[in-house]
Amino acid sequence: MKLTALDRCPSCRSERIRLFKKGTVEPQAVSAGDFKITDSHYGSRWTFFACRGCGLVFANPVPDPEAIARFYAALEDEEYSQEGEGRGRNFNVILKRLGRLVPAGSALLDVGAASGIFLNLARAAGYRVQGIEPSSALADDAERLFGLKLFRGSAEQFPGGEEFQAVTLLDVLEHVTDPNALLATLSPLLAPGGVLVVSTPDIGSLAARLMGGRWWHYRVAHINFFDRRALERLLDAHGFDIVLRRRFAWNFSAYYLVTRLLPILKGPALQRPLKKLHLKLQLFDSWEVYARKREK
């Protein structure tokens, strides 16, 4: 894979950048499988730089965006849809909070919709939903599982046409090579006063600092990490004011967690009992932010 050295921060364009953590990824060995949402190769990471201007931590040299786009287009992730129940619980919490800011009946766009678990719940909650998903296999899953017809491609390719009252960007921002470009694409799709929901790992969290290079959010698919300031700065630069900020807690089945920690235990014997057992993992190491688009 081609890598490009950056001489400035991809978010705020400051040249005050410094080495943050040396990488462990072998760029030539990277494949589509490394970009699975359920990838278990924790600890694999790019070389990261930190920006003194805004706090963003970003892969530098940065992997080729076109190669990454091809990986996502070819991505299949059966395990993701199998974890639907736990993810559904997380998503219902988000919908409950969103419902206080954007009423049901409004138009909602989910960017990086994967197999449609969130959109299906949003539709059930009364939103008029559309979704964007670059992976054909995941978009197929969304259609097969929930009858959802997602736009297949990137946010930049999405034709738009409608103004949305809500746009959701759930665990997407850390995957893109140019977060500025993504926000610049999404901001015009939102009606003034509309709400953007972002969830993303928090590099400033206690877990990230304690675990260092072993933090579980380090994986090949993750290219940017935000702390509170970096996220605030990016959203502000694109016309958003944060109205609600939460530390995020993920729900997983015990099977998912156990096999993440000990992949050797993967298999049918433990699958049945452990998949029934849901745990709430309170690591508080992700952001869940609701930001309102400023009126002009």
289 binds Zn ion (CB under 5 A): no
Closer residue to Zn ion (CB): 56 or 220: 56
Closer residue to Zn ion (CB): 53 or 86: 53
| DSSP code per residue over the chain | --EE--SS-TTT--S-EEEEE-----GGG--GGGG-TT---TT----EEEETTT--EEESSEEPHHHHHHHHHT---HHHHHTHHHHHHHHHHHHHHHHHHS-TTSEEEEES-TTSHHHHHHHHTT-EEEEEES-HHHHHHHHHHH----EES-GGG----S-EEEEEEET-GGG-S-HHHHHHHHGGGEEEEEEEEEEEEBTTSHHHHHHGGG-TT-STT--EEB-HHHHHHHHHHTTEEEEEEEEEEEEEEHHHHHHHH-GGG-SHHHHHHHHH-EEEEEEEEEEEEEEEEPP-
183 binds Zn ion (CB under 5 A): no
Of 73-92, binders to Zn ion (CB under 5 A) are none
Among 14, 31, 157, 282, binds Zn ion (CB under 5 A): 14
In angstroms, what is the minimal distance from the CB of 51 to Zn ion? 3
Closer residue to Zn ion (CB): 55 or 131: 55
Q: Which stretch, 21-29, 51-59, 94-102, 211-219, contacts Zn ion (CB under 5 A)? A: 51-59
Among 25, 30, 37, 54, binds Zn ion (CB under 5 A): 54
Among 37, 50, 56, 220, binds Zn ion (CB under 5 A): 56
Closer residue to Zn ion (CB): 75 or 208: 208
Among 25, 50, 53, 115, binds Zn ion (CB under 5 A): 53
Closer residue to Zn ion (CB): 53 or 134: 53
Q: Which stretch, 6-14, 125-133, 258-266, 272-280, contacts Zn ion (CB under 5 A)? A: 6-14
223 binds Zn ion (CB under 5 A): no
Binding site for Zn ion (CB under 5 A): 9, 11-12, 14, 51, 53-54, 56
